[in-house]
């Protein structure tokens, strides 16, 4: 199962010739969010590193804060840190701290949306059935139209993510997840395994 998830979520393989449209939709949707998570992790790691760097320059110790998620930080070499942080945050510590909070929120949102995408695959077959696609669209107050192409379905689902991501609209996302839960959808062991991969 782990091998299958790695192929689907990380896009390291190709779909079988007989793959169903539902499989293609699931793969494209989760892969899109996974790529955004990767970028969010890098931005968060940079802001975190620079915040600590500015504190060090001031001879102060960064305040301890509980991490919202267990995140793998992208290494940044010390020689690059001085130049990057000073250039990226010319206004200093406060600007870096604001970036830290903002990037942490965006990363958390992307991870939660990824969780929703996994939950929406109710039977964990790595494909969206007609009912599953209908339920997830209706959870976001969107109408499901039968007979659309794979690209159209993917565009609808990706659109949900991109529409709410810029302003980090957690209330909308959480309300939609609650709608799915009310219909019997749950975070399964397989879902949690896939989610954990995104946190590595």
Range of the domain at 45: 2-9+21-61+72-199
Residue 193 and residue 115 in contact, taking contact as beta carbons nearer than 8 Å: no
Rounded distance between C-alpha atoms, residue 38 and residue 25, angstroms: 20
Rounded distance between C-alpha atoms, residue 14 and residue 184, angstroms: 31
Nearest to 33 by CA among 95, 96, 120: 120
Backbone angles phi, psi at 124, to 5 degrees: 55, 40
Is 15 within a domain?
no
Report the pLDDT value the prediction gives residue 132, as an integer from 0 to 100: 95
Report the pLDDT value the prediction gives residue 4, as an integer from 0 to 100: 39
CA distances from 188 to 5, 8, 10, 121, 193 (A): 14, 17, 19, 10, 9
Rounded distance between C-alpha atoms, residue 96 and residue 54, angstroms: 8
Is 67 within a domain?
no
Report the pLDDT value the prediction gives residue 184, as an integer from 0 to 100: 97
Is 34 within a domain?
yes
Structure tokens at 163: 């529409």
Structure tokens at 7: 């192929």
Task: Count up the domains in the chain and report the number.
Answer: 1
Report the pLDDT value the prediction gives residue 16, as an integer from 0 to 100: 40
Is 16 within a domain?
no
What is the full per-residue pLDDT of the chain (200 aa) written as tens digits? 444 344 344 443 344 433 445 899 999 999 999 999 999 999 999 999 999 999 998 887 777 654 444 554 455 445 466 668 999 999 999 999 999 999 999 999 999 999 999 999 999 999 999 999 999 999 999 999 988 999 999 999 999 999 999 999 999 999 999 999 999 999 999 999 999 999 98
Is 176 within a domain?
yes
- Full-model pTM: 0.81
Report the pLDDT value the prediction gives residue 195, as an integer from 0 to 100: 96
Rounded distance between C-alpha atoms, residue 110 and residue 170, angstroms: 10
Is 99 within a domain?
yes
Is 14 within a domain?
no
Is 190 within a domain?
yes
Taking the CB of residue 143, how many other CB atoms lie within 10 A of it? 8
Report the pLDDT value the prediction gives residue 60, as an integer from 0 to 100: 78
């Amino acid at each position: 199962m782990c091998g299958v998830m790695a192929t689907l979520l990380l896009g390291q393989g190709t779909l079988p010739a007989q793959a169903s449209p539902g499989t293609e939709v699931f793969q494209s949707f989760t892969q899109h969010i996974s790529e955004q998570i990767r970028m969010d992790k890098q931005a968060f790691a940079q802001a975190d590193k620079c915040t600590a760097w500015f504190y060090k320059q001031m001879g102060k110790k960064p305040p301890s804060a509980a991490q919202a998620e267990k995140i793998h930080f992208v290494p940044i070499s010390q020689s690059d840190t001085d130049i990057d942080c000073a250039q990226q945050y010319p206004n200093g510590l406060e600007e870096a701290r604001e970036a830290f909070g903002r990037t942490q929120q965006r990363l958390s949102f992307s991870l939660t949306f990824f969780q929703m995408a996994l939950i929406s695959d109710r039977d964990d077959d790595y494909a969206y059935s007609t009912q599953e696609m209908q339920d997830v669209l209706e959870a976001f107050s969107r109408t499901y139209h039968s007979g659309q192409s794979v690209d159209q379905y993917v565009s609808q689902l990706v659109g949900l993510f991109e529409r709410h991501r810029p302003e980090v609209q957690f209330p909308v996302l959480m309300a939609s997840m609650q709608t799915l839960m009310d219909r019997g959808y749950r975070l399964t062991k397989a879902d949690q395994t896939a989610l954990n991969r995104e946190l590595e």
